[in-house]
Chain A
Amino acid sequence: NERDRIQWEIEKAEMKARIARLEGEKRGNERLIESFVRRINMLEKSLAEERAKLGNAM
């Protein structure tokens, strides 16, 4: 009946909002991981450069 239908719709809307929020969080985390990977690469590169410099000096 009417009341059950409304309740069901409210629940559905809540679920949708929840999905949207979780998806947003997931996207944010993915981007964060992406930037962290870049930073790791950056550090790896500068470490390699430092090593090379050290090797030359020796």
Chain B
Amino acid sequence: MSSVPSDELYPIAVLIDELKHDDVSLRMAAIERLSTIALALGPERTRSELIPFLEESLDDEDEVLTVLAEQLGSFVPFVGGNQYAHVLLPPLESFAGVEEPLVRDKAVESLNNIANEMTASQVEEYFLPLAKNLTTADWFTSKVSVTGLYASVYQKVSSQSKAGLRQLFGQLVYDDAPMVRRAAATHLTGLISHIDAETVVTDIVPFFLYLAQDDQDSVRLLTIDVLIAVSRLLGPELVREHLLEQLKKLFVDKSWRVRYMVADRFEQLAVAVAAGDESVLKTHFVPAIVRLLKDSEAEVRTVIAKQIPGFCQLVGRETVLEEILPCIEELVNDSSQHVRAALATKISGLAPILGKDLTIKYLLPMFLQMLKDEFPEVRLNIICKLELVNNVIGIDLLSQSLLPAITQLAQDKQWRVRLAIIEYIPLLASQLGMEFFDTQLRDLCMAWLHDNVYSIRDAATENLKNLTKVFGVAWAKTTIIPKVIEAGSNPNYLYRMTSCVAATTLAPVVTIDVIKDDLLPFLNNLVADPIPNIRFSVARSYETVQKLLLEKAAEGEIDSDAMDASTDEDAKARELRIAEANEIIRDVIVPNLEKLKEDEDVDVRFFANKSLQAIG
């Protein structure tokens, strides 16, 4: 504190002070605002003083270094524009060699940014030596980092330097450390897009062949993306000449991780390597997919199952029938549930390829079997994608075969099975349409309201609510609500109770008019029910219903079949509706609740009082 104030405020002194904090977050904040320091110094002194200071004296936590590496990437304007951009390279070069991957990644990102802002001659002068230094460094971290730089440097330099760069990159490909080879394989794809086809054949293909035979499977699996990138560039003939042999080896690699990669990219590979060439597809890719579909590793089968429709689109229909379909039939009974679930999402995609007759003949049996699968996700996936099949074979044929399966499940002896199918009914209904549902499935849904098991009845009432969301209020008013009300006169009080609960559950999704005209009178009838359980559940329902009446009136919810009163949207109409709702509550609900309040049963009195309190 003894020094002259002008020294105290000297920007680098300020920075040094800030970097002396013990608190890492404060040091990070200081570095994050490093641009302020540079701005205060001006470009000239930033170059001559700040950058050397950072280069020499900064030895800090990895978090701080990460932030610094990131900052330096956007520092070009602060050192005086791109003709001075090279002064930023030395600190970043040392960051590219540190041990912590996060710092290195940021440094590489920043170096790429700077390279993009440099002119071609600058890149030649400053970046090439840097790339060389890092490539020939002792420690593998620098080599790993530098692989990410080649693509941006390569596209800027002269053709002479390009040849040199390719050679340098070769050193990385043939490096002893698998970490370096992995990084080289990863970044080879980016580099390829800047190279012309001829040079790729002479220079890059050998790299690929070398890496694809690596004894580490983690290196081999990275070459598949390289293969796709190379194939896109070369065109089918050259690919067949140079790469096909290696590809065939990758198809049957002994490491499942490599086969997984192959399976995951199978469609892309087929497009890139054999685009439009039937013979290559048939002789090489079809046997490969058949083998992968029968792979010993479940993960491989899962990913290849997802590629089925895409690949089948490429090969002809006959091939699919003869070669692939038998394997799919086996997968339907696969021992792994994940494989079956993956297949279930994609198998419907085959319907448009096979056409109507073949779909009925081959695919439908598989569908029906998967619908009965014990794993719920398989069933769900099949039902989700039903629309694709529906478009091909038509609703009539689909329903003929699907309906028996659904009804069978709906009437299964095990209540958990019944419950499982109920959950899919709304989805199924939206896929199959209202007409189909009304003729085939509606009675089923109603029958569930009379199930012996409470959980089924409960799920069935929720189901009705969801169906109303799918098909609309008008549909509910004409088809569901009369049935529900009818069930309210069942001699067994449990079923009357279900009706009461169903009416309450439906209330939120229908309009005021439906509540007023249909549901409310129904509830009023139950007030005089001989069983107290019904009476108090009515008392509870009133509370929900009155709340909904007020809410809906306030929202001014419009529906297609609503009266004129709710179609004009001005405040006056709203007032009117609220007044009307209050009137209903006052004239209908409150008197009934008052009656229930005097009930002989203590529970009925309790719930009636509670509802009255809620009305206020």
Which residues of A come within 8 Å of B, CB atoms?
28, 31-32, 35, 38-39, 41-43, 45-46, 50
Contact yes or no, A42 B29, CB < 8 A: no
What residues of chain B lie closer than 8 Å to A32, measured between beta carbons?
26, 29
Nearest chain A CB to B418's CB is how many angstroms away? 46
Nearest chain B CB to A20's CB is how many angstroms away? 15
What residues of chain B lie closer than 8 Å to A50, measured between beta carbons?
42
Which residues of B come within 8 Å of A, CB atoms?
6, 9-11, 14, 17-18, 21, 23, 25-26, 29-30, 33, 36-37, 39-42
**6 pairs, A vs B, C-beta closer than 8 Å:** A31-B26, A35-B17, A35-B29, A38-B14, A45-B9, A46-B40
What residues of chain A lie closer than 8 Å to B18, measured between beta carbons?
35, 38
* B21 nearest in chain A by CB position: A31
* B41 nearest in chain A by CB position: A46
Contact yes or no, A42 B25, CB < 8 A: no
What residues of chain B lie closer than 8 Å to A39, measured between beta carbons?
14, 33, 36-37
Q: How far is the CA of A35 from the CA of B30 in the complex (A)?
A: 8
* B29 nearest in chain A by CB position: A32
Contact yes or no, A45 B6, CB < 8 A: yes
What residues of chain A lie closer than 8 Å to B17, measured between beta carbons?
35, 38
What residues of chain B lie closer than 8 Å to A43, measured between beta carbons?
36, 39-40
What residues of chain B lie closer than 8 Å to A41, measured between beta carbons?
9
Q: How far is the CA of A39 from the CA of B41 in the complex (A)?
A: 12
What residues of chain A lie closer than 8 Å to B25, measured between beta carbons?
28
For A38, A39, A41, which residue has the most chain B Cβ atoms within 10 angstroms? A39
Nearest chain B CB to A46's CB is how many angstroms away? 4
What residues of chain A lie closer than 8 Å to B41, measured between beta carbons?
46
Nearest first, the 8 A-B pairs at minimum CB distance are: A46-B40, A45-B9, A42-B9, A42-B14, A35-B18, A42-B40, A41-B9, A43-B40
Nearest chain B CB to A25's CB is how many angstroms away? 11
Task: Give 19 A-B pairs besides A42-B11, A43-B39, A46-B11 with Cβ atoms closer than 8 angstroms.
Answer: A28-B23, A28-B25, A28-B26, A31-B21, A31-B23, A31-B26, A32-B26, A35-B18, A35-B26, A35-B29, A35-B30, A38-B17, A42-B14, A42-B40, A43-B36, A45-B6, A46-B41, A46-B42, A50-B42
* B25 nearest in chain A by CB position: A28
For B6, B18, B37, B40, which residue has the most chain A Cβ atoms within 10 angstroms? B40
Nearest chain A CB to B41's CB is how many angstroms away? 8
Q: How far is the CA of A45 from the CA of B42 in the complex (A)?
A: 13
Identify whether the interface residues of A are mostly helix, strand, loop, or mixed: helix
* B40 nearest in chain A by CB position: A46
Nearest chain A CB to B282's CB is how many angstroms away? 68
* A45 nearest in chain B by CB position: B9
Nearest chain B CB to A29's CB is how many angstroms away? 10
Q: How far is the CA of A12 from the CA of B6 in the complex (A)?
A: 50
What residues of chain A lie closer than 8 Å to B21, measured between beta carbons?
31
Contact yes or no, A38 B23, CB < 8 A: no
* B36 nearest in chain A by CB position: A39
Nearest chain A CB to B25's CB is how many angstroms away? 7
* B10 nearest in chain A by CB position: A42
Q: How far is the CA of A48 from the CA of B17 in the complex (A)?
A: 22
Q: How far is the CA of A41 from the CA of B14 in the complex (A)?
A: 10
Q: How far is the CA of A56 from the CA of B9 in the complex (A)?
A: 22
Nearest chain A CB to B21's CB is how many angstroms away? 7
Q: How far is the CA of A43 from the CA of B15 in the complex (A)?
A: 13
Nearest chain B CB to A52's CB is how many angstroms away? 13
For A39, A41, A42, which residue has the most chain B Cβ atoms within 10 angstroms? A42
Nearest chain A CB to B36's CB is how many angstroms away? 6
* B33 nearest in chain A by CB position: A39
What residues of chain B lie closer than 8 Å to A31, measured between beta carbons?
21, 23, 26
Q: How far is the CA of A31 from the CA of B42 in the complex (A)?
A: 26
What residues of chain A lie closer than 8 Å to B26, measured between beta carbons?
28, 31-32, 35
Contact yes or no, A38 B9, CB < 8 A: yes
Nearest chain B CB to A2's CB is how many angstroms away? 35
What residues of chain A lie closer than 8 Å to B6, measured between beta carbons?
45
Q: How far is the CA of A28 from the CA of B27 in the complex (A)?
A: 11
What residues of chain A lie closer than 8 Å to B29, measured between beta carbons?
32, 35
What residues of chain B lie closer than 8 Å to A45, measured between beta carbons?
6, 9, 40
Q: How far is the CA of A35 from the CA of B23 in the complex (A)?
A: 13
* B23 nearest in chain A by CB position: A28
Nearest chain A CB to B56's CB is how many angstroms away? 22
Q: How far is the CA of A50 from the CA of B11 in the complex (A)?
A: 14
Nearest chain B CB to A45's CB is how many angstroms away? 5
Q: How far is the CA of A35 from the CA of B41 in the complex (A)?
A: 17
Q: How far is the CA of A28 from the CA of B29 in the complex (A)?
A: 11
What residues of chain A lie closer than 8 Å to B14, measured between beta carbons?
38-39, 42
Q: How far is the CA of A28 from the CA of B18 in the complex (A)?
A: 13
Nearest chain A CB to B4's CB is how many angstroms away? 12
Nearest chain A CB to B138's CB is how many angstroms away? 39
Nearest chain A CB to B66's CB is how many angstroms away? 20
What residues of chain B lie closer than 8 Å to A46, measured between beta carbons?
11, 40-42
Q: How far is the CA of A31 from the CA of B24 in the complex (A)?
A: 12
Nearest chain A CB to B40's CB is how many angstroms away? 4
What residues of chain B lie closer than 8 Å to A38, measured between beta carbons?
9, 14, 17-18
Q: How far is the CA of A45 from the CA of B30 in the complex (A)?
A: 19
For A38, A46, A50, which residue has the most chain B Cβ atoms within 10 angstroms? A46
For A28, A35, A50, which residue has the most chain B Cβ atoms within 10 angstroms? A35
Q: How far is the CA of A22 from the CA of B9 in the complex (A)?
A: 31
Q: How far is the CA of A46 from the CA of B10 in the complex (A)?
A: 9
For B6, B18, B41, B42, which residue has the most chain A Cβ atoms within 10 angstroms? B18
Q: How far is the CA of A38 from the CA of B30 in the complex (A)?
A: 11
Q: How far is the CA of A29 from the CA of B390 in the complex (A)?
A: 63
What residues of chain B lie closer than 8 Å to A28, measured between beta carbons?
23, 25-26
Nearest chain B CB to A32's CB is how many angstroms away? 6
Q: How far is the CA of A38 from the CA of B6 in the complex (A)?
A: 12
Q: How far is the CA of A35 from the CA of B31 in the complex (A)?
A: 12
Q: How far is the CA of A4 from the CA of B52 in the complex (A)?
A: 63
What residues of chain A lie closer than 8 Å to B36, measured between beta carbons?
39, 42-43
Q: How far is the CA of A15 from the CA of B39 in the complex (A)?
A: 44
Q: How far is the CA of A39 from the CA of B30 in the complex (A)?
A: 10
